[in-house]
Amino acid sequence: MVRVIAQPPTRKPRHHFAEILQQVRPAPKHPTCPHYMHAVLSSHHRFTSLHRLPTRMPTLAIPSSLLLTLRLLAARTFSTSAASGYSTTTVKMARSALDEVTDTGAFDRSPSTFRSSVSSDASARFPAVPGRYHLYVSYACPWASRCLAFLKLKGLDHAIGITAVKPIFERTKETDDHLGWVFPTTTDEEPGAKPDPFNGAKSVRELYEIASPNYAGKPSVPVLWDKQLKTVVNNESSEIIRMFNTEFNDIARNPGLDLYPVQLRASIDDINELVYDAINNGVYKCGFAKKQGPYDEAVTRLYEALDKCEEILGKQRYICDNQLTEADIRLFVTLIRFDEVYAVHFKCNKKLLREYPNLFNYTKDIYQIPGISSTVNMEHIRKHYYGSHPSINPYGIIPAGPNIDYNAPHDRERFGS
């Protein structure tokens, strides 16, 4: 709950933004609430319900990033002073990463909900046949990028279509304040993103509701979609990549590539456990922590894990052996975003990726594997993180750098090809 103090203005209703900020008073016990939120509410005290904020406020020019912040905060329960005669409106909390924070201030990712499997067995409910499935992704999302990488490496892009959403969260419906992944309305609206070609959905949320009309979970990507049954097969990236690795081999262009080989599975599983909790999810734990303690714990574990990976990569070309495996792809999708986003946006700045010689060269090595660079859209990555989390970056300003050239030479050939 957030307590907002709304007071009638003491001046004329029309204020310059700088004048409003001078009248801001933080709400009790919530000193970290955005000050401009209080300012806007103080100036517009007649808006007694925050269920739907107007797109245009007649007495105040509001930047689009600020409006996004207001709508995110409006999706929560706001309480105003009963003594002042203001009303209370309760709105269902938006289901996004911004909401997955516990009372202790720690980030806690919710589990995926669609967990069916595509099978090489022709009699299965979801048989691995060409043209039946479609992968909905965001180029910004590291979890979706795992699936894109497997699709390219296995040579399945001719059999499974891909549609990418717009990078910045937007309203998914006009009837509530949920913000999430949306599709562009035209093919040229957002380079790299396309409209939904099969269902005409305006958002990923609508896809979930087509599959399950009463769906109330988190409408995340990736989504492996069955065009025939019009349903979500699976939205758990770790399971989708395993399906791509083995179940589609009859139609894959690279069926001999095994990214989860039997002889390395124990090692892969161990590395996956370390990398997921401390690195993949660890950067989010740092970025979305709302208290110092959870942040300190997460950032300590993050750099302990990075140090361990740096040590391993000083002895071999890849993270589990001298052969590329699933574990490398799972680590890569976080490393490629580290200096460009996580170091700044998620406060993971104790040490940059570029300061780890083995990890940095390793990242360039994987990026240069045929097919992988096409799964990395740095413009979408930067737009999404800096533009979709106004509680972290309220004005949506995208930093100028560092603009790393991952096609630059690396030294990983010293371990052999």
Q: What is the CATH number of the domain that holds 186?
A: 3.40.30.10
C-alpha closest to that of 238 among 200, 293, 277, 199:
277
Among residues 91, 116, 139, which one ends one of the domains? 91
Coil, helix or strand for 127? strand
Check whether residue 105 and residue 248 sit in a common domain.
yes
The reported pLDDT for the residue numbered 69 is: 53
**Cβ-based neighbour number of residue 173 at 10 Å:** 13
Closest CA to 344 of 305, 317, 381, 300: 381
pLDDT over 70 at 52, yes or no: no
Number of structural domains (the chain) is 3
Query: How does pLDDT run across 386-414, given as a tens digit for each residue?
Result: 999 999 999 999 999 999 999 999 999 99
- Which residue in 128, 233, 220, 225 sits closest to 180, CA to CA? 220
| The pLDDT of residue 117 | 95
Q: What is the pLDDT of residue 185?
A: 97
Rounded CA gap, 286 and 295, in Å?
Answer: 5
Residue 59 — pLDDT band, cuts 50, 70, 90? Answer: very low
Residues that are catalytic: 141, 284
Task: Provide the residue range defining the domain that includes 45.
Answer: 2-91
Q: Determine the pLDDT at residue 308.
A: 99
More confident residue, 38 or 206: 206
Mean pLDDT score, 156-182: 97
Do 229 and 315 share a domain, yes or no? no
Q: How far apart are CA 378 and CA 406, in angstroms?
A: 11
Q: What is the CATH number of the domain that holds 388?
A: 1.20.1050.10
Q: What is the pLDDT of residue 416?
A: 87
In whole angstroms, give the CA distance from residue 46 to residue 257.
63
| Residues 27, 75: Cα–Cα separation, whole Å | 18
Quote the mean pLDDT of the chain: 84
In this model, does residue 18 exceed pLDDT 70? no
Angle between helices 326-337 and 357-367 (to 10 degrees): 110
Mean pLDDT, residues 362-378: 99
Does the pLDDT at position 215 exceed 70? yes
Residue where a domain terminates, one of 69, 91, 113:
91
Cα 306 to Cα 335: distance, rounded to the nearest angstrom: 10
Residues 217 and 273 in one domain: no
CA 211 vs CA 152, 201, 266: distances in Å: 27, 12, 35
Residue 267 binned pLDDT confidence (cut-offs 50, 70, 90): very high
The more confident residue out of 63 and 40 is 63
pLDDT digits 0-9 by tens, 91-150 = 343 445 556 677 776 656 566 678 899 999 999 999 999 999 999 999 999 999 999 999
pLDDT at 106: 66
Give the end of a domain, one of 257, 273, 295. Answer: 257
Cβ–Cβ < 8 Å for 214, 186: no
How long, in residues, is the chain?
417
The stretch 49-67 carries a mean pLDDT of: 48
